[in-house]
Amino acid sequence: MRILIAEDDDVLADGLTRSLRHSGYAVDHVANGLEADSALSTQNFDLLILDLGLPRMPGLEVLKRLRARGAMLPVLILTAADSVGERVKGLDLGADDYMAKPFALTELEARVRALVRRGAGGGATLMRHGPLAFDQVGRIAYMNDQMLDLSAREVGLLEILLTRSGRLVSKEQLVDHLCEWGEEVSNNAIEVYVHRLRKKIEVGGIRIATVRGLGYCLEKFQPAVATPS
């Protein structure tokens, strides 16, 4: 899952970026409102963390333009502790949640997890697909209650396929949601990630179908039917 942080405090932005990357998210950062508006206009993200006190374009204007384009991605706004009016305006313009500075990093991470789940159309922290289970809080996958040894990139890939189970996901969409700015990830690299993940989950009867030239699909789980003896 890919997150955009729009924050002009470099120290705070660096801390948020490091923490969220450690949790397995792809994270990009911009330091002013114009850059945020440009990035949101041209690229896909799963969550926006938006400081309202941005230079060059206020955060509220960034949010207003985002919603005017019909974008539905979740938005977590960051505000000064005494800016109640701005928080109200942000929520009225379509923000999903807010945090007043200073805040506890653990609480922000929990809110990020909740908003990412909500944006993916789910509320539960544990996603299931037959014998496969994925804990979105711990970011750990299990097959028949046995923990799977997955790389960070494989975890991200699995989460995307699970949230879109039964639907086609193109290679371009995978790149958009897995990769940060500056990462050179080719279609061949995506094929390698899918191949590695497929080998680890197919033992449980979970199939990732390849639709040649279009992308991949996590097939609906079909439990084995016992034949009469």
* d(C-alpha 35, C-alpha 229), whole Å: 66
Query: What is the pLDDT, as a whole number, of residue 120?
Result: 60
Q: 58: cis peptide before it, omega within 30°?
A: no
Containing domain of residue 110, as a range? 2-119
Please indicate, yes or no, whether residues 113 and 38 belong to a single structural domain of this protein: yes
User: Is 227 within a domain?
Assistant: no
Question: pLDDT tens digits, residue range 139-188?
Answer: 889 998 899 999 888 988 998 899 888 889 998 888 888 877 767 777 78
Strand 140-143 and strand 146-147: the pairing is antiparallel
pLDDT one-digit tens code per residue, 23-35: 878 899 999 999 9
Gap between the Cα atoms of 28 and 44, Å rounded:
11
- Compute the distance between CA of residue 25 and CA of residue 153 in angstroms, rounded to an integer: 9
How far is 138 from 59, CA to CA, in rounded Å?
31
pLDDT of residue 24: 78
Statement to judge: residues 40 and 112 lie in one domain: yes
Same-domain check for residues 134 and 173: yes
Mean pLDDT of the chain: 86
Which domain CATH number covers 65? 3.40.50.2300
* Dihedral sign (CA 214, 220, 223, 227): negative
CA distances to 49, 94, 123 from 55, in Å: 15, 21, 34
pLDDT digits (tens, 9 = 90+) for 91-124: 899 999 999 888 888 899 889 988 887 766 555 5
With a pLDDT cut of 90, the percent of the chain lying above it is: 43
Lowest-confidence pick of 3-12, 47-56, 185-194: 185-194
Residue that the structure tokens 């948020």 belong to: 16
| Contact criterion met (CB below 8 Å) for 127 and 120 | no
Same domain, 143 and 58: no
